[in-house]
Amino acid sequence: MLGVRHFAGGGQESGRGSCVCQPAAEEERPMSTPSPQLLVAAAQQTLGMGKKRSPPRAACLHLAGEVLAVARGLKPALLYDCNCAGASELQSYLEELLGLGFLSQRLHILEIGENSLIVSLEHVCQHLEQVLLGTIAFVDVSSSQPHPSICFLDQLQDLKARVAEIIMHLQGLQRDPSLAVSSSRLHSSDWNLCTVFGILLGYPVSYTFHLNQGDDNCLALTPLRVFTARISWMLGQPPVLLYSFSVPESLFPALRDILNTWEKDLRTRCGTQSDIADLSISSEIVTLPAVAL
């Protein structure tokens, strides 16, 4: 969901579509696929916060699929939320994946506030540079508004400065390739993390709102079109949820071109590698009594 971790409740009507992603003629070198048992052990041994708080098997395999998607450039970043493991534990985990031959690209752990994101420095910088060019849209859902409205980055100068700051920070790290897995922290005391994370996670449309108006928004009882993108990468395992975000249904016609461009680009990037076999994209319309951002 766009700027929302999880929706509660069900949908009222739906319309679904899917696409199959075929590998292109020129592909990145495929990774070595360790057994599911080795991938689960790597996560549980490095990310476990005590025996009872290790990530379950399904979460470990899903996380490995998400990390692979970041490494292959199918998403700019992933937000780690399996448990309270921090940057040092995530660094150990990624080093284990490198040792298993599962990864060949350099990855970085970016701490923002109390949150940890796994990023590919190359891919996330490319993505953020495109964001500065106005390739994504924002939906203002401030509680003072009668209904959501579309805005763009040039209308959000403080946010534009934040994006530029993140790019400068990450580009500086690119100049030091000595570590296969690196980490850094950004101070974010006055940031709208909902909006910043929406950008970093690669959503084509991100929610924004005025922080001085609290956590309320104008999305209650507003029909939302929820988009989900899933990938398959390991035979016999459930698909990995790659993207999940929403846009107000009333604004969907105005946002259609941006969403179509995002979908076309995602299909193209999927086709440049062979580790992820297919991509399916679907949407459904939900209406909820309240939406937490």
pLDDT digits (tens, 9 = 90+) for 172-218: 998 877 778 999 999 888 899 999 999 999 999 999 999 887 778 99
Could you give the percent of the chain with pLDDT greater than 70?
A: 88
Statement: residue 34 has pLDDT above 70: yes
Q: What is the pLDDT of residue 51?
A: 56
- Please give the Cα distance from 67 to 119 (Å, whole number): 9
Q: How far apart, in whole angstroms, are the C-alpha atoms of residue 196 and residue 167?
A: 12
Place of tokens 């509680």: 143
Whether 53 shows a pLDDT value over 70: the answer reads: yes
Distances, alpha carbon 94 to alpha carbons 63, 89, 98, 292, in Å: 11, 9, 6, 31
Identify the domain containing residue 213 by its residue range: 11-286
pLDDT higher than threshold 80 for residue 162: yes
Structure tokens at 214: 């609290």
What is the arithmetic mean of pLDDT over 92-104? 93
| pLDDT value, residue 37 | 94
Task: Please give the average per-residue pLDDT across 45-70, as a whole number.
Answer: 86
Residue 274 confidence (pLDDT) above 70: yes
Q: Is the pLDDT of residue 104 over 60?
A: yes
**What does the pLDDT average to over 231-244?**
92
Task: Note whether residue 166 is domain-resident.
Answer: yes
Tell whether pTM > 0.85: yes
Predicted pLDDT of residue 215: 74
Residue 91: what residue type? Answer: Q
Residue 23 has pLDDT above 60, yes or no: no
Q: Quick check: 22 pLDDT over 50?
A: no
Tell me if 293 is assigned to some domain.
no
pLDDT at 24 over 60: no
Please say if the pLDDT value at position 232 is more than 60.
yes
* Residue 50, pLDDT score: 61
Asked, for residue 292, whether it belongs to a domain, the answer is no
Mean pLDDT score of the chain: 87
Q: What is the pLDDT of residue 29?
A: 53
Domain annotation covers residue 186? yes
The structural domain count of the chain equals 1
Q: What is the mean pLDDT of residues 4-13?
A: 35
Please state the rounded mean pLDDT for residues 150-155: 95
